[in-house]
Amino acid sequence: MPYWKLVWRGGTVVEVMKYHSARYPCIGERRGKRQKESTLTQIKVNIRLATRNLRWLMNANFCDDDYLVTLDYKKDMRPASSQAMQGDMSRCLRKLRKAYKKEGVPLKYIYVKERGPRGAAHIHMMLSECGTRNIARILKECWDKGGIHIDPLNTDGQYAKVAEYFEKYANKTIETDGELIGKRYYPSRNLIRPEPVKKIIRGVNTYYENIRVPEGYYLEKDSVISGKTMEGYDYFSYTLHKLEQINTVRKRE
Protein backbone atom coordinates (compact mmCIF):
# COMPACT_ATOMS: atom_id res chain seq x y z
CA MET A 1 0.00 0.00 0.00
CA PRO A 2 1.22 3.57 -0.63
CA TYR A 3 2.42 6.24 1.79
CA TRP A 4 2.33 10.02 1.91
CA LYS A 5 5.39 12.11 1.14
CA LEU A 6 5.43 15.83 1.91
CA VAL A 7 8.21 18.15 0.69
CA TRP A 8 8.47 21.84 1.60
CA ARG A 9 11.01 24.14 -0.05
CA GLY A 10 11.81 27.68 1.03
CA GLY A 11 14.99 29.76 1.04
CA THR A 12 17.97 27.51 1.74
CA VAL A 13 15.93 24.74 3.34
CA VAL A 14 14.05 21.62 2.21
CA GLU A 15 11.91 19.69 4.72
CA VAL A 16 10.83 16.11 3.94
CA MET A 17 8.23 13.98 5.73
CA LYS A 18 7.04 10.42 5.02
CA TYR A 19 4.11 8.90 6.85
CA HIS A 20 1.18 6.49 6.77
CA SER A 21 -2.37 7.42 7.62
CA ALA A 22 -5.78 5.86 8.15
CA ARG A 23 -6.57 6.64 4.51
CA TYR A 24 -3.61 4.68 3.17
CA PRO A 25 -2.36 2.24 5.85
CA CYS A 26 0.29 -0.26 4.85
CA ILE A 27 -0.40 -4.02 4.78
CA GLY A 28 0.69 -5.74 7.95
CA GLU A 29 1.40 -2.51 9.81
CA ARG A 30 0.67 -2.78 13.49
CA ARG A 31 -0.84 0.53 14.34
CA GLY A 32 0.48 1.90 17.60
CA LYS A 33 -1.73 2.83 20.50
CA ARG A 34 -3.65 5.99 19.76
CA GLN A 35 -2.73 8.78 22.13
CA LYS A 36 -5.55 9.92 24.34
CA GLU A 37 -6.42 13.44 23.34
CA SER A 38 -6.57 16.06 26.06
CA THR A 39 -6.66 19.82 26.19
CA LEU A 40 -2.94 19.90 27.04
CA THR A 41 -2.08 17.51 24.20
CA GLN A 42 -4.05 19.57 21.70
CA ILE A 43 -2.36 22.77 22.90
CA LYS A 44 1.05 21.18 22.32
CA VAL A 45 0.01 20.07 18.83
CA ASN A 46 -1.27 23.57 18.01
CA ILE A 47 1.97 25.17 19.24
CA ARG A 48 4.05 22.72 17.19
CA LEU A 49 2.07 23.48 14.03
CA ALA A 50 2.22 27.23 14.68
CA THR A 51 6.00 27.01 15.16
CA ARG A 52 6.36 25.01 11.92
CA ASN A 53 4.32 27.54 9.94
CA LEU A 54 6.32 30.41 11.43
CA ARG A 55 9.59 28.64 10.63
CA TRP A 56 8.48 28.16 7.03
CA LEU A 57 7.52 31.82 6.77
CA MET A 58 10.89 32.99 8.14
CA ASN A 59 12.97 30.61 6.03
CA ALA A 60 11.14 31.54 2.83
CA ASN A 61 11.40 35.31 3.23
CA PHE A 62 14.53 36.29 5.15
CA CYS A 63 18.28 35.84 4.79
CA ASP A 64 21.46 36.67 6.64
CA ASP A 65 21.56 40.27 5.41
CA ASP A 66 18.41 40.91 7.46
CA TYR A 67 18.00 41.68 11.16
CA LEU A 68 16.69 40.34 14.44
CA VAL A 69 15.43 43.36 16.39
CA THR A 70 14.21 43.78 19.98
CA LEU A 71 12.33 46.94 20.92
CA ASP A 72 12.25 47.65 24.67
CA TYR A 73 10.05 49.83 26.87
CA LYS A 74 11.28 52.25 29.48
CA LYS A 75 9.91 51.37 32.89
CA ASP A 76 7.64 54.41 33.06
CA MET A 77 6.32 53.71 29.53
CA ARG A 78 5.40 50.05 29.90
CA PRO A 79 2.04 49.16 28.31
CA ALA A 80 -0.88 47.93 30.39
CA SER A 81 -1.72 45.15 27.92
CA SER A 82 -0.68 43.52 24.67
CA GLN A 83 -3.44 45.52 23.01
CA ALA A 84 -1.64 48.74 24.00
CA MET A 85 1.56 47.29 22.55
CA GLN A 86 -0.26 46.81 19.26
CA GLY A 87 -1.02 50.52 19.07
CA ASP A 88 2.65 51.34 19.66
CA MET A 89 3.72 48.96 16.90
CA SER A 90 1.17 50.36 14.44
CA ARG A 91 2.70 53.83 14.87
CA CYS A 92 6.22 52.45 14.57
CA LEU A 93 5.40 50.55 11.38
CA ARG A 94 3.87 53.61 9.71
CA LYS A 95 7.20 55.39 10.16
CA LEU A 96 9.18 52.36 9.03
CA ARG A 97 7.17 52.08 5.83
CA LYS A 98 7.96 55.69 4.96
CA ALA A 99 11.67 55.14 5.61
CA TYR A 100 11.82 51.99 3.48
CA LYS A 101 9.79 53.59 0.71
CA LYS A 102 12.25 56.48 0.64
CA GLU A 103 15.05 53.94 0.15
CA GLY A 104 13.09 52.18 -2.60
CA VAL A 105 13.12 48.77 -0.91
CA PRO A 106 10.18 46.67 0.39
CA LEU A 107 9.58 46.44 4.12
CA LYS A 108 9.28 42.84 5.27
CA TYR A 109 8.78 41.87 8.88
CA ILE A 110 7.44 39.38 11.38
CA TYR A 111 7.04 40.48 14.98
CA VAL A 112 5.76 39.06 18.23
CA LYS A 113 4.75 40.73 21.48
CA GLU A 114 6.26 39.70 24.81
CA ARG A 115 4.74 40.82 28.09
CA GLY A 116 5.87 39.36 31.41
CA PRO A 117 4.02 38.97 34.74
CA ARG A 118 5.98 41.84 36.31
CA GLY A 119 5.08 44.29 33.55
CA ALA A 120 8.23 44.13 31.41
CA ALA A 121 7.39 44.32 27.69
CA HIS A 122 9.32 43.81 24.46
CA ILE A 123 8.68 43.58 20.74
CA HIS A 124 10.75 40.96 18.92
CA MET A 125 10.97 41.42 15.17
CA MET A 126 12.58 39.86 12.14
CA LEU A 127 13.18 42.79 9.80
CA SER A 128 14.41 43.03 6.22
CA GLU A 129 17.51 45.01 5.31
CA CYS A 130 16.94 48.65 4.35
CA GLY A 131 19.06 49.84 1.46
CA THR A 132 22.12 51.89 2.35
CA ARG A 133 20.76 53.67 5.42
CA ASN A 134 21.86 52.77 8.94
CA ILE A 135 19.13 50.56 10.40
CA ALA A 136 19.85 51.70 13.97
CA ARG A 137 19.26 55.31 12.99
CA ILE A 138 16.04 54.42 11.19
CA LEU A 139 14.68 52.50 14.18
CA LYS A 140 15.54 55.33 16.58
CA GLU A 141 13.43 57.61 14.42
CA CYS A 142 10.54 55.14 14.56
CA TRP A 143 10.63 53.86 18.16
CA ASP A 144 10.61 56.26 21.12
CA LYS A 145 9.39 53.95 23.90
CA GLY A 146 12.76 52.59 24.99
CA GLY A 147 15.91 50.81 23.90
CA ILE A 148 16.66 49.11 20.59
CA HIS A 149 18.78 45.98 20.10
CA ILE A 150 19.84 44.84 16.64
CA ASP A 151 21.53 41.57 15.67
CA PRO A 152 22.26 40.49 12.08
CA LEU A 153 20.75 37.12 11.18
CA ASN A 154 23.59 34.63 10.91
CA THR A 155 22.34 31.05 10.52
CA ASP A 156 22.50 30.75 6.72
CA GLY A 157 18.77 30.84 6.15
CA GLN A 158 17.65 28.36 8.82
CA TYR A 159 15.61 30.24 11.44
CA ALA A 160 14.02 27.33 13.31
CA LYS A 161 15.46 28.50 16.65
CA VAL A 162 14.18 32.03 16.11
CA ALA A 163 10.70 30.66 15.38
CA GLU A 164 10.79 28.65 18.61
CA TYR A 165 11.76 31.73 20.62
CA PHE A 166 9.01 33.80 19.01
CA GLU A 167 6.45 31.17 20.00
CA LYS A 168 7.75 31.19 23.58
CA TYR A 169 7.29 34.97 23.71
CA ALA A 170 3.73 34.61 22.40
CA ASN A 171 2.95 31.94 25.01
CA LYS A 172 4.40 34.15 27.75
CA THR A 173 2.06 36.97 26.70
CA ILE A 174 -0.91 34.60 26.73
CA GLU A 175 -0.05 33.49 30.26
CA THR A 176 0.42 37.09 31.43
CA ASP A 177 -2.74 38.55 29.92
CA GLY A 178 -4.87 35.44 30.35
CA GLU A 179 -5.42 35.48 26.60
CA LEU A 180 -3.62 36.66 23.50
CA ILE A 181 -5.21 39.85 22.21
CA GLY A 182 -4.74 39.61 18.45
CA LYS A 183 -2.47 37.08 16.71
CA ARG A 184 0.38 34.91 17.95
CA TYR A 185 2.68 36.74 15.53
CA TYR A 186 2.27 39.52 12.95
CA PRO A 187 3.75 39.15 9.43
CA SER A 188 3.81 41.82 6.75
CA ARG A 189 1.39 41.19 3.88
CA ASN A 190 4.08 40.98 1.21
CA LEU A 191 5.67 37.75 2.48
CA ILE A 192 5.64 34.73 0.18
CA ARG A 193 4.10 31.51 1.52
CA PRO A 194 5.39 28.45 -0.36
CA GLU A 195 3.03 25.50 -0.04
CA PRO A 196 4.38 21.99 0.59
CA VAL A 197 4.07 19.43 -2.19
CA LYS A 198 2.16 16.42 -0.89
CA LYS A 199 1.76 13.24 -2.89
CA ILE A 200 1.04 9.53 -2.58
CA ILE A 201 3.96 7.18 -3.32
CA ARG A 202 2.45 4.03 -4.81
CA GLY A 203 3.79 0.60 -5.63
CA VAL A 204 5.36 -0.12 -2.22
CA ASN A 205 3.95 -1.44 1.02
CA THR A 206 5.79 0.97 3.25
CA TYR A 207 8.56 3.54 3.23
CA TYR A 208 12.14 2.98 4.31
CA GLU A 209 13.75 5.40 6.74
CA ASN A 210 16.43 6.27 4.22
CA ILE A 211 17.60 9.79 3.46
CA ARG A 212 18.59 10.98 0.01
CA VAL A 213 20.86 14.03 0.08
CA PRO A 214 21.05 15.62 -3.39
CA GLU A 215 24.18 17.31 -4.66
CA GLY A 216 24.58 20.82 -3.25
CA TYR A 217 22.82 20.03 0.05
CA TYR A 218 23.72 18.64 3.45
CA LEU A 219 21.60 16.92 6.09
CA GLU A 220 20.78 18.78 9.31
CA LYS A 221 21.54 15.81 11.56
CA ASP A 222 19.50 17.01 14.55
CA SER A 223 16.45 17.32 12.29
CA VAL A 224 15.95 13.56 11.79
CA ILE A 225 12.79 12.39 13.58
CA SER A 226 11.24 8.93 13.64
CA GLY A 227 8.05 8.36 15.60
CA LYS A 228 4.30 7.97 15.54
CA THR A 229 1.43 10.37 14.96
CA MET A 230 -1.31 10.92 17.54
CA GLU A 231 -3.35 8.36 15.59
CA GLY A 232 -0.62 5.73 16.07
CA TYR A 233 0.84 5.69 12.53
CA ASP A 234 4.56 5.82 11.74
CA TYR A 235 6.23 8.93 10.36
CA PHE A 236 9.78 9.94 9.43
CA SER A 237 11.10 13.43 8.71
CA TYR A 238 14.35 15.29 8.07
CA THR A 239 15.67 18.64 6.82
CA LEU A 240 18.16 19.41 4.04
CA HIS A 241 20.15 22.63 3.77
CA LYS A 242 21.83 24.22 0.75
CA LEU A 243 25.62 24.30 0.94
CA GLU A 244 25.72 27.82 -0.45
CA GLN A 245 23.56 30.66 0.82
CA ILE A 246 20.98 32.00 -1.63
CA ASN A 247 21.98 35.22 -3.32
CA THR A 248 20.33 37.97 -1.26
CA VAL A 249 19.50 40.00 -4.38
CA ARG A 250 16.86 37.39 -5.27
CA LYS A 251 15.28 37.92 -1.86
CA ARG A 252 14.66 41.57 -2.66
CA GLU A 253 12.80 41.00 -5.92
CA torsion sign for 204, 206, 210, 212 is positive
With 70 as the cut, is the pLDDT of residue 253 above it? no
Q: What percent of the chain has pLDDT over 70?
A: 84
State the angle between helix axes of 160-177 and 39-61 in degrees (0 to 180), rounded to the nearest 10: 130
Give the residue with greater pLDDT, 253 vs 153: 153
Tens-place pLDDT, residues 128-185: 998 877 899 999 999 999 999 999 999 889 999 999 999 999 999 988 887 766 788 9
With 90 as the cut, is the pLDDT of residue 43 above it? no
> What average pLDDT does this structure show over 37-42?
62
**What pLDDT does 42 receive?**
66
Task: Break the chain into its structural domains and give their ranges.
Answer: 3-35+195-251, 60-187
Can you tell me the distance from the alpha carbon of 223 to that of 221, in angstroms, rounded to the nearest whole number? 5
Ranges 19-23, 185-189, 213-217: which has the least confidence = 19-23
Domain 60-187 classification at class level: alpha beta
Give the residue with greater pLDDT, 16 vs 25: 16
**What pLDDT does 127 receive?**
97
Give the residue with greater pLDDT, 217 vs 228: 217
Place 247 in a pLDDT band, splitting at 50, 70 and 90: very low
Cα 214 off chain centre by: 25
Closest by CA to 56, choosing from 17, 12, 106, is 12
**What pLDDT does 3 receive?**
83
Place 205 in a pLDDT band, splitting at 50, 70 and 90: low
With 60 as the cut, is the pLDDT of residue 236 above it? yes
Place 33 in a pLDDT band, splitting at 50, 70 and 90: low
Beta bridge partners of 123: 71, 113
In this structure, are residues 50 and 167 in contact, taking their beta carbons and an 8 Å threshold?
yes
What lies within 8 Å, CB to CB, of 63 at 6+ separation is 11, 153, 157, 245, 246, 248, 251
Tell me the DSSP string of the chain: --EEEEEEEETTEEEEEEE--SSSPPTT--PPPPPPP-HHHHHHHHHHHHHHHHHHHHHHH--TTSEEEEEE--GGG--SSHHHHHHHHHHHHHHHHHHHHHHT----EEEEEEE-TTS-EEEEEEE---TTS-HHHHHHHH--SS-EEEEE--STT--HHHHHHHHHHHHHHHHHHSS-SS-SSEE-TT---PPPEEEEE-SSSS--------TTEEE-GGG-EEEE-TTS-EEEEEEEEESSPPPHHHHT-
Mean of pLDDT over the chain: 86
How many CB atoms sit inside 10 A of residue 118's CB? 7
**What pLDDT does 209 receive?**
81
**What pLDDT does 159 receive?**
96
**What pLDDT does 252 receive?**
41
Tens-place pLDDT, residues 95-114: 999 999 999 999 999 999 99
> What average pLDDT does this structure show over 68-94?
95
**What pLDDT does 251 receive?**
47
Burial class (CB in 10 A: 0-12, 13-18, 19+), 209: exposed
**What pLDDT does 191 receive?**
97
With 50 as the cut, is the pLDDT of residue 87 above it? yes
